[in-house]
Amino acid sequence: MTRVLYPGSFDPITKGHMNIVDQAINLFDSVVIAVMHNPAKKENMFTVEERVNLIKELYKDHPNVEVISSMDATVDVAINNNCNAIIRGLRSLTDYDYEVQMNQFNKEISNNRVSTICLFADKEYQFVSSSMVKEIFSLNKDISRYVDESVIKKMQEKKNF
């Protein structure tokens, strides 16, 4: 059984993230999407629970996709959920530099039990990020190319609240 962890902020989940999840579903037996909660980072649009629920709704017909949240170190989340690899998506050289360091660190602290696998989104989603989506949305522009309808609906509700 190949079981992998896909950790991130997912604030909110974008079609870039979903493209990575689709690839992971094809490659592995099961995918655990982990919404990672960093208490030091307060400027989120959605609560962790809201982010988890949005993702659960999107993958409700995929029995091999689980959605969890955690405040723990990513490598501990991987080990505790029986995942022997972490999936990361690469968009830029900045992502690459960060992932190289994190991979090294995670391998060391897990005694080589957890490796990182990097995937690339298809070209139309390659540069999509949650922060870009939030910025474009705040300018009242169409974001339907970048996020699912259900996400737009939730963003709209936040705006009108």
The single residue of 37, 56, 91, 134 carrying the catalytic annotation is 91
Q: What DSSP string runs through 11-23?
A: TT--HHHHHHHHH
CA-to-CA distance for 9 and 12, rounded, in angstroms? Answer: 8
- Contact between 32 and 66 under an 8 Å Cβ cutoff? The reply is yes
78 belongs to the binding site for ligand ADP (CB under 6 A): no
C-beta closer to ligand ADP: residue 62 or 160: 62
12 belongs to the binding site for ligand ADP (CB under 6 A): no
The residues, ordered by sequence, that sit 6+ positions from 121 with a Cβ below 8 Å of its Cβ are 16, 19, 20, 89, 91, 128
30 is an active site residue:
no
Task: Looking at residues 95 to 114 of the shown chain, list those that interact with ligand ADP (rule: CB under 6 A).
Answer: 95
Q: Is 90 helix (H, G, I), strand (E, B) or coil?
A: coil
- Show the binding pattern over residues 23-62: x = contacts ligand ADP (CB under 6 A), - = does not: ----------------------------------------
The single residue of 41, 60, 62, 153 carrying the catalytic annotation is 41
The residues, ordered by sequence, that sit 6+ positions from 123 with a Cβ below 8 Å of its Cβ are none
- Show the binding pattern over residues 118-137: x = contacts ligand ADP (CB under 6 A), - = does not: ---x---xx-xxxx------
- Residues marked as catalytic: 17, 41, 91, 130
